[in-house]
Amino acid sequence: MATCKRRREVVVGIFLLITAIVIDPVPARRDLTLSGKSNDVEFARAPRGTVKTVQSGGGDVVDCVDIHKQPAFDHPLLKNHTIQMKPSFLEEGESHLQGLPAELEEWGVDCPEETVPIIRKTSENGPNVKDYVPSFLVDDVKSSHNKSFSILADFRQGHEYAVVQTNGKGTFRGSQAHHNVWNPSTEIGEISVSQIWISAGSGENLNTVEAGWIVLGSSPVTRFFTYWTSDAYKSTGCYNLDCPGFVLANNNFAPGFVFQSISTYGGKQFSVDIQIKQNWWLRVYNKNMGYWPGSIFNSLTGGGSAVTWGGEIYNSQKSGHHTATQMGSGHFPRDGYFTKSAYIRNLAFIQDNGPMRSVPKEALVSSVTKRQCYDLVMGPSGIHFGTHFYFGGSGLSAQCP
């Protein structure tokens, strides 16, 4: 990702709009009886292998699908794949048997053993919503901060970034960080993201695994998402479970879940701990979600060549000016740090064959595509946030026309 463009075509709202379901005041986790009809209140067809249908605490309709019939195994390279139910790399003190974290308890579902939860697509998030084309990652425009670091946006495609990235050589076999969770304002057909990328390869062999939170198309909710590609976003890869590839390995939560607790400006703060380890397990709140099998990649099989953390927005310029879509909290770092600007803290990585360790500041370079619209400031050393940074901004303004 660090040296090449990226393109990912996705239908806005394909998985991220909340369903119009009336739910109890207390988060409901119950079986559903469906009428078989299909309208804005009812539901689309259940996926193959559905054993039962439940409702999450956030109101999502969730199908409990036979773990062996989940979408991942439609991938031609996973036809004979043996499911891993836990990572092989668990370190001392870690457990794959832990209960559902408190942060997920309200949304979480209780699917039966040997099934996995898949959020149902409804008529509300169908393909009639306007498409958008995310950007490439380019290597022909250099960062103003470091001539060896490619900035992560193609201005013609409208994507803008405020990110930090590893600047040293080596092989990266994992990474993690705590992402401050917000619900920034976004315009219809646009996105606001906070995420982590691990990437390897170049040209058509660019591979990435990605995870974070996303707000899409004026949605009232912030959702967790995953993404991957094995050919520079051309024909492989997708968000969440929208194509075969990512293997779910738990029966309580899935990509696309809604964050129940959101940070408030000047008030209480919430964050999500995201960890990715080769080959390529995703852990959220220290709970195993699932993994991208190494066999679906060509460049990432031996590890990543770069790790990136930060914010991204899409600027459609549909009205002839910059978007009003916010990044992070919607406030710049200069407006104030903790409780005011979004942060990503306790950056860590696994480099070569070493352990997971804090990322030294000197191992990072930063890039911001349009500082008058969004910005990034590294945080001070010597506090419990470890290596961290603040980022974000308001978008459209007198300074960001």
Give the Cα separation of 111 and 54 in Å (integer).
8
Mean pLDDT of the chain: 81
What is the CB neighbour count within 10 angstroms for residue 59?
18
Active site residue 210: yes
- pTM, two decimals, is 0.84
Tell whether the model's pLDDT for residue 22 goes beyond 60: no
Residue extents of the structural domains in the chain: 158-393
Selected catalytic residue, list 91, 105, 312, 362: 312
Least confident of 90-94, 328-332, 381-385: 90-94
Tell whether the model's pLDDT for residue 262 goes beyond 90: yes
The share of the chain scoring above pLDDT 70, in percent, equals 78
Active site residue 362: no
Look at residue 156 and give its three-state secondary structure. helix
CATH number given to 158-393: 2.60.120.1270
Tell whether the model's pLDDT for residue 123 goes beyond 80: no
Evaluate the omega torsion of the peptide bond into residue 279 and state whether it is cis, within 30 degrees of 0: yes
Between 87 and 377, whose confidence is greater?
377
pLDDT tens digits, one per residue of 216-241: 887 789 999 999 999 988 888 888 99
**Cβ-count burial of 141 within 10 angstroms (0-12 exposed, 13-18 middle, 19+ buried)?**
middle
Give the Cα separation of 177 and 388 in Å (integer).
9
pLDDT band for position 91 (cuts 50, 70, 90): low
